[in-house]
């Protein structure tokens, strides 16, 4: 599209400072006549681009011209820079190069000292991180992927998946894709994926237009309504880990949390993480199951 080419051309010229029409024609895969026509359009639009002929000639901008004087405010420049920082933290391809270029083009932009973006978990190893660029390639070019997956019960399985979307939700990355073994669209938490490989097989499947992440991720099997009573000593965790509408204050100073959970190992491990500061009020079966686990732990000591 011409508009997209014109915008890219401005950045390219400002960054390179001096280019020839042939270089631009080769870069954008158009004719030199098209380049000169685009330069004329930009000049009419008020972009101070100069074209000179002869030895040493070429296309450049008026000395001292920077994009921040014509396009973006300082706040908008910072927003772009911060967005690129987030991409860099995800190991997004070429984000570091883009950061360097933005720093050159927006001469007033400096790396903010108040912001540092790191999506890796505490104690993570660089070798354990999944490459976002590999997944981007697989999704865009429709390559199947295979990996080892651990569910919430830590059960291991080998999966072959047609990746359809990469989602970042609630501080966690997920892959949305068609699972060949389950023959259905499933959501896979990336922190539970190991040994991911991009396969040569190509697929044609598309994600349904009406697909939404909400509701799909929840396991509807074996769901129960839990009523949990928390001591004030652990209140700081409640508003980090539950929705505000799920939490209410009791007359005795304790907190009551009403939430839906499955009767699963993941649920009881989470409840055990609160130690003596939580009591399961309902359902009764969950009280008994949690008690059994506590007694099993006590036997160790």
- Kindly state whether residue 216 falls inside one of the protein's structural domains: no
Do 138 and 196 lie in a common domain?
yes
Do 170 and 149 lie in a common domain?
yes
- Predicted TM-score (pTM) of this structure: 0.46
Q: What is the CATH number of the domain that holds 33?
A: 1.10.10.10
Strands 184-189 and 156-169: unpaired
Given a cut of 80, is residue 127 above it in pLDDT? no
Given a cut of 60, is residue 115 above it in pLDDT? no
Given a cut of 80, is residue 171 above it in pLDDT? no
- Kindly state whether residue 244 falls inside one of the protein's structural domains: yes
Do 92 and 151 lie in a common domain?
no
Phi, psi of 130, rounded to the nearest 5 degrees: -85, 135
- What span, in angstroms and rounded, lies between the C-alpha atoms of 96 and 84? 8
* Phi-psi region at 271: left, alpha or beta (left = phi > 0; alpha = psi -120 to 50): alpha
pLDDT, residue 21, reads 80
- Kindly state whether residue 118 falls inside one of the protein's structural domains: no
pLDDT, residue 82, reads 59
Nearest to 91 by CA among 123, 135, 122, 141: 135
Number of domains in the chain: 4
User: How does DSSP assign 66-107, residue by residue?
Assistant: -GGGTT--HHHHHHHHHHHHHHHHTT-TTHHHHHHHHHHHST
Do 49 and 76 lie in a common domain?
no
Q: Which of 33-37, 137-141, 177-181 has the lowest mean pLDDT?
A: 33-37
Do 97 and 138 lie in a common domain?
no
Given a cut of 90, is residue 261 above it in pLDDT? no
Q: What is the CATH number of the domain that holds 174?
A: 2.30.30
- Kindly state whether residue 28 falls inside one of the protein's structural domains: yes
Do 134 and 93 lie in a common domain?
no
Say if CB 204 and CB 210 are below 8 A apart.
no
> Which among 202, 231, 253 is the end of a domain?
202
Is the pLDDT higher at 49 or at 171?
Answer: 49
pLDDT bin (cut points 50, 70, 90) of residue 202 is very high
> Which among 46, 65, 84 is the end of a domain?
65
Rounded mean pLDDT, 54-81: 60
- Kindly state whether residue 207 falls inside one of the protein's structural domains: no
Range of the structural domain that residue 15 is part of: 2-65
Percent of the chain whose predicted confidence (pLDDT) is above 90:
25
Given a cut of 70, is residue 75 above it in pLDDT? no
How do residues 133-149 score in pLDDT, each as one tens digit? 678 788 888 999 999 99
Do 197 and 232 lie in a common domain?
no
Q: What is the CATH number of the domain that holds 291?
A: 3.30.70
- Kindly state whether residue 166 falls inside one of the protein's structural domains: yes
């Amino acid at each position: 599209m011409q508009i997209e080419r014109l915008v890219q051309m401005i950045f390219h010229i400002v960054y390179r400072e001096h280019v020839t029409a042939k270089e631009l024609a080769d870069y954008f895969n158009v004719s030199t006549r098209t380049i000169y026509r685009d330069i004329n359009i930009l000049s009419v639009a008020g972009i101070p681009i100069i074209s000179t002929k002869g030895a040493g000639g070429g296309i450049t901008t008026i000395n001292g011209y920077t994009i921040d004087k014509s396009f973006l405010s300082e706040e908008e420049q910072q927003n772009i820079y911060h967005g690129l920082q987030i991409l860099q933290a995800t190991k997004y391809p070429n984000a570091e190069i883009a950061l360097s270029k933005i720093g050159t083009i927006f001469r007033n932009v400096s790396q903010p000292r108040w912001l540092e973006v790191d999506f890796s978990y505490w104690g993570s190893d660089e070798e354990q991180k999944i490459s976002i660029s590999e997944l981007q390639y697989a999704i865009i070019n429709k390559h199947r992927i295979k990996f080892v997956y651990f569910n919430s019960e830590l059960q291991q399985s080998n999966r072959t998946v047609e990746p359809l979307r990469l989602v970042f939700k609630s501080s966690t990355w997920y892959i949305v894709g068609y699972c060949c073994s389950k023959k259905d669209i499933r959501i896979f938490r990336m922190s539970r994926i190991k040994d991911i490989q991009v396969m040569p097989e190509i697929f044609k499947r598309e994600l349904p237009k009406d697909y939404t992440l909400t509701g799909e991720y929840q396991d509807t099997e074996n769901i129960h309504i839990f009523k949990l009573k928390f001591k004030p000593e652990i209140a700081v965790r409640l508003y980090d880990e539950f929705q505000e509408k799920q939490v209410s204050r009791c007359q005795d100073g304790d907190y009551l949390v009403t939430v839906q959970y499955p009767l699963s190992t993941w649920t009881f491990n989470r409840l055990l993480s609160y130690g003596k500061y939580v009591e399961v009020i309902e359902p009764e079966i969950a009280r008994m199951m949690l008690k059994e686990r506590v007694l099993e732990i006590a036997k160790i000591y």
